[in-house]
Amino acid sequence: MPSPFGTELPLIQAPMAGAHGSALALAVSNAGGLGSLPCAMLPPDALRRELDALRDGTSRPFNLNFFCHRPPAPDDARERAWRDALAPYYREAGLDPDAVPAAVSRVPFDARTAHLVEAYRPAVVSFHFGLPAPDLLAQVKAWGSVVIASATTLAEALWLEARGVDAVIAQGLEAGGHRGHFLSDDVTRQAGTFVLLPQLVRALRVPVVAAGGIADARGVAAAFALGASAVQVGTSYLLCAEATTHAAHRAALRSDVAAHTALTNLFSGGLARGIVNRLMRELGPVSPLAPPFPLAAAAIAPLRAYAERAGRGDFSPLWAGQNTSGCRETGAAALTRELAGA
């Protein structure tokens, strides 16, 4: 099946912030798929280094992924309540919660980022949590970039198509990491991949990319049978040699605990799917005390660092989809060809 993105294979490696950089994207692109670089957590200098690595490492298409969330206003009372909820863990770790500075770890696509990226003219740019302002979107399209964006419902997909995207990612409820919802955060309106996908294929004129719970070549073939023009796979790449998945996360993916994932807001404030760990069990996966995305992450960061130094993922976002059966310690190029049945 021809790819709508100018690649040999109609397969996208999902952008997974914190779990990989340009090395994984390059391996996938050079194998014929569409490698993706998660850019939302990269400060300008780091983004420029990664873009240079992509430009120097391949002549094939690659995808740059950005967030389009609206940064929330800080709320001191809510931040204090969140830190109070985490206080027992701080005491256990010998950390001072008042010494943790507030920090925003994820920033939306803006004019400064667009100016930096323009010189690289990426073949594909993808957006999560909606789209940037119309002038910024027009700027990206003027580069000649194919624009794709995530939808978790039919309403979101129609909204994206009406605003000129070239393809829509149907992100099913099984998908790991952050939900791409933006019109409503009501998860009961969201569906599994193989329910959502045919709805979008019937309703949209643009190509639809299937994403969520697809872990092997059989799942890829099933998505194509339901009308997908391409398939996006993330979780299966987390154990690849080129991924930067930390040791505790890798250990969880190799073990039986990977069979239990849940949507949680504890690690960033936004709903995201990950392997259930200590913090999720003890506080419950979703807490009304967690500040909105991405503000909850600041208070979690010291606890995460403390536990990871000891080889534990008690406070880490162990992002993974519901289907971890495709996770294997192999090279990303070989996995890409295997997924695509090449």
156-196: pLDDT as tens digits? 999 999 999 999 999 999 999 999 999 999 999 999 999 99
Long-range Cβ pairs for the range 187-193 (8 Å, 24+): 187/263, 187/271, 189/152, 189/153, 190/152, 190/153, 191/153, 193/223
CA dist 335 → 116, 216, 224, 325 (Å): 32, 9, 18, 13
Q: What does pTM read for this prediction?
A: 0.95
Render pLDDT for 267-296 as a digit per residue (tens, 0 to 9).
999 999 999 999 999 999 999 999 999 999
Render pLDDT for 199-224 as a digit per residue (tens, 0 to 9).
999 999 999 999 999 999 999 999 99
